[in-house]
Amino acid sequence: MKAMHLTSPHVIESSPLLLTDTVIPTPDEDEILLNISACGICHTDLHVIEGELSPKKLPLIPGHQVVGTVEKVGSRVKNFSIGNRAGVAWLHWTCGDCGYCKRGKENLCPHAKFTGYDVDGGYAEYMVVPADFAYSIPKQLTDEEAAPLLCAGIIGYRALRLSEIKPGQRLGLFGFGASAHIAIQVAKYWNCEVFVFSRSVHHQKLAEQLGATWTGTAEEIPSHRLQSAIIFAPAGELVPKALRTLDKGGILALAGIHMTPIPSLDYSLLYHERTIRSVANSTRQDGVEFLKLAAEIPIRTEVEVFPLREANRSLQLLKAGKIRGAGVLQV
């Protein structure tokens, strides 16, 4: 099979992913083999490829927003059959036995394995995944539309929940890439007013098309205080800027897996019971709930499609903020 391999972390501008031929993996008894049709690209892929997150294995096939067709099933698999569509997200496996897993917080499992990080992911023609960690894809969504939902969408949904935004309240989104352009659709479905902060005029225009009440840069302060905010951009300097937009008791959720250093804060930005909280991975329940909601709304993902061999170029555009909506590799 064809796959894009990372042999050593390097900046994406050096095109470190190499198109190679490799053996099609064989599923274990509790796994399924997917014939991949689409895989979303993500900032987390960039963090791994560039070494900000040290890869757990090398060589590595990145990618964790995967949609494909089941080609083989292990002997113990009951929830998928050959020919079914299935999706794979960031969470590849958890132990099920630790205190976090038993409390419904499997996203914090210390033994967890992650797709395209601990194990090979979806920048390839085939991959294997434990059947219990794969998702059925709603029939309303094409493969290319569904792929970004499996990370950008699920993480955006979890960030919305952890921000504790309520219907009718005001929500701020800092950064307007793949995740935010999905999250705004959920927030609007919940009848929230959405304020979008982005340095990109193109992203501001997309936000307005998707129903944003206000758009501007992070240096601006809107005329109304916000009850909740989410930072999607991996930029620590946005934290004090986001805090100053929050009302008393407001909650700021940090949705990235990696962020540049957060500058020192004046205590007045936190006073009046404002809260900062991180969003760490996601649970399978998040994925199930979100995919059901995505079909119900229905969410429409804005995608730019690239062939598998152009993975380096697509990630270069992602890093430069030049992708409108979400980037997807067509396999």
**Please, is 290 exposed, middle or buried when counting C-beta atoms within 10 Å of its C-beta (0-12, 13-18, 19+)?**
buried
The average pLDDT across 110-118 equals 98
Tens digits of residue pLDDT in 180-192: 999 999 999 999 9
- Pairing between β-strand 91-93 and β-strand 113-114 as defined by DSSP bridges: antiparallel
Q: What is the CATH number of the domain that holds 67?
A: 3.90.180.10
Domain co-membership, 266 together with 302:
no
Tens digits of residue pLDDT in 214-238: 999 999 999 999 999 999 999 999 9
Instruction: Name the least confident of 125-129, 283-287, 319-323.
Output: 319-323
Half-sphere exposure of 22 (CA within 13 A, CB side): 18
Domain co-membership, 37 together with 86:
yes
Q: Which two tokens stand for residue 267?
A: 């205590």
CA distances in angstroms from 94 to 34, 63, 91, 245, 246, listed in the order given: 20, 18, 8, 37, 36
Tens digits of residue pLDDT in 61-113: 999 999 999 999 999 999 999 999 999 999 999 999 999 999 999 999 999 99
Tens digits of residue pLDDT in 252-266: 999 999 999 999 999
Q: Which two tokens stand for residue 221?
A: 């302060």
Domain co-membership, 103 together with 23:
yes
Domain co-membership, 8 together with 143:
yes
Domain co-membership, 40 together with 132:
yes
Domain co-membership, 234 together with 207:
yes
Q: What is the CATH number of the domain that holds 172?
A: 3.40.50.720
Q: Would you state the pLDDT for residue 219?
A: 97
- The structural domain count of the chain equals 2
The average pLDDT across 161-177 equals 97
User: Rounded to whole angstroms, how far apart are CA atoms 218 and 231?
Assistant: 11
Domain co-membership, 122 together with 172:
no
> For the stretch 272-286, what's the b/e string if a residue is b when 16 or more beta carbons lie within 10 angstroms of its beta carbon?
eebbbeebebbbbeb
Task: Tell me the residue range of the domain where 285 lies.
Answer: 2-148+281-330
Domain co-membership, 165 together with 219:
yes
User: Rounded to whole angstroms, how far apart are CA atoms 40 and 24?
Assistant: 21
